Chains A and B, each alone.
Chain A
Amino acid sequence: MRIGLFVTCLTDTLFPDTGKAVVTVLERLGHQVDFPAGQACCGQMHFNTGYRREAVPMARGFVTAFGGFEAVVTPSASCASMVREYYPALAAEAGDPGLARAVAEVAPRTHELSEFLADVLGVTDVGGYFPHRVTYHPSCHSLRMLKVGDAPLRLLRAVRGLDLADLPDAEACCGFGGTFAVKNPDVSAAICADKVTAVRRSGAEVLCAADNSCLMHIGGALDRQRSGVAVMHLAEILARTDGQSR
């Protein structure tokens, strides 16, 4: 299958290893991965903060870059849900029938990595080896918008050597919320503090999630506390075959 990788602006800029890991996993499964250079940001931050008008050109850029791919795969449940859940409304609002048609074509074929692997390809064992104690934070948009269910956990359970630890109160939000973390920093930090406590109680060496945004948030607090717990995107764990945790 010819797959377009939508790496997302955050992962592109700050976490390139996640993008490389997605390429590794998909190519290991025998697929052809392309990175259309015309891609930029999906516009979620602008849309969710109220700058809908500014998000419209970003949606246009996305559908232009990814038109024609059999599937678009992204290592972010949050960005995938922006495309699938909100692009249709955004296109309608912009009064742009061409954009609406392009969205109707591209959005349903856009998938977050774990749902693409487990539900579209039907693969749970991607050949990973990662002999570490890992706990998984189901990000809100993966859980309640995309409803990926236990796809990430099925993938993690199939990784050889991996010891999956329960995360207490796993479905609770981490308090990131995009610009919420900056507009309401006190509340965001208070929510994050409870997530960090839960992560530390799990006894895991590595916290894993399907969104680098949440991991940047929780990881930032774990690092500030010098907790010694590393954060890794799901793709990076699935890509590992050498047993290293960093």
Chain B
Amino acid sequence: MSETVIEVRGLRNQFGEQVVHENLDLDVRRGEIIGVVGGSGSGKSVLLRSIIGLNQPRAGTVRLFGEDMARVSAARRNAIEQRCGVLFQNGALFSSLTVAENVSVPLVEHHGLPHALIERLAALKIGLAGLPPEAGAKFPSELSGGMVKRAALARSLALDPDILFLDEPTAGLDPIGAAAFDQLILTLRDSLGLTVFLITHDLDTLYTICDRVAVLAQRRVLINAPLAEVERQDEPWIREYFQGPRGRAAEHAALTAKRI
């Protein structure tokens, strides 16, 4: 078994009276793509925000690369955060900067790189994310939904992260764009050796690229296992999720694709 890069233990999140997570445990191993699924309001995004430190949990520990994020020094924490790339749901690109400048921001802020090299690296990330060269000079408002996602992915790759957090990367994309994005993530994982933490509602994504699936329900992770094992669970919610008409269609599509 390979090394665990994200380790969540006994996590509790609460907003007012509403408890979102209670005693939540989750492990993510190096180099895998883990898909996090759950109903609306089950706290998928809150879990992501807790792991990357945007949300202070009430109780429990979050360890990234084996270090307890609540206890490490600010400098160490900063260094760890630079090893994480985050793709927010709506891209969160800075609207006053061009795509190339957006990608350059982390490079300029964290490393004293020469200007020519920054331009070169920004162009490289834009290319890795599958955008055409002329996209670099455009502003986020001039891009289509799919291109915004790719540009945001390019920015999250800027510092060569070890872990990539993706919050619904294929939401709002057409099926062709979504399938291409799935393939892109798979390619990047294989060639850059990334660990990918993926929140999604897209069953096709789950069937196509995820090594393991974590089901978030009843305030905790019900099961965290390869898809085949998850499907066999007798939990009513899981059955409904994967055995519903959409789940079966996606499974069928994935099987057909594999046969071809």
Question: Do the two shown chains form a genuine complex with each other?
Answer: no
